[in-house]
Amino acid sequence: MGSKTIIPCDDIKVIDVPQFEGLSIQDIFTFAQNDRDVERALPPGKEIQKLSRAYLANVVYTIMG
């Protein structure tokens, strides 16, 4: 698994992600799961479903842009 990345609060970019079909937590995670930086910033895969959509979207947006 390797070391985890900690993102300081001041560096977080916030994005508003409306509730659309095809934008579930799993869909967002599937989009970003192959990015090593995102993988290091998120908890293990089995915990992803417990995250809020906003949290997951903000982490992905902060890292991937």
DSSP letters spanning the chain: --PPP---GGGPPP------TT-SHHHHHHHHTT-HHHHHHS--GGGGGGS-HHHHHHHHHHHH-
Range of the domain at 34: 12-64
Contact 34, 63 (CB under 8 A): no
pLDDT per residue as tens digits for the range 2-13: 688 888 889 989
The answer to whether position 46 is within a domain reads yes
What mean pLDDT, rounded, does the chain reach? 85
pLDDT of 19 = 84
Model's pTM, two decimal places?
Answer: 0.78
The answer to whether position 40 is within a domain reads yes
The answer to whether position 3 is within a domain reads no
Query: Residue with structure tokens 């842009």?
Result: 65
The answer to whether position 6 is within a domain reads no
Taking the C-alpha atoms of residue 27 and residue 9, their distance in angstroms, rounded to an integer, is 25
The answer to whether position 20 is within a domain reads yes
The answer to whether position 17 is within a domain reads yes
Largest CA distance in the chain: 34
| Count of the separate structural domains present in the chain | 1
The answer to whether position 4 is within a domain reads no
The answer to whether position 48 is within a domain reads yes
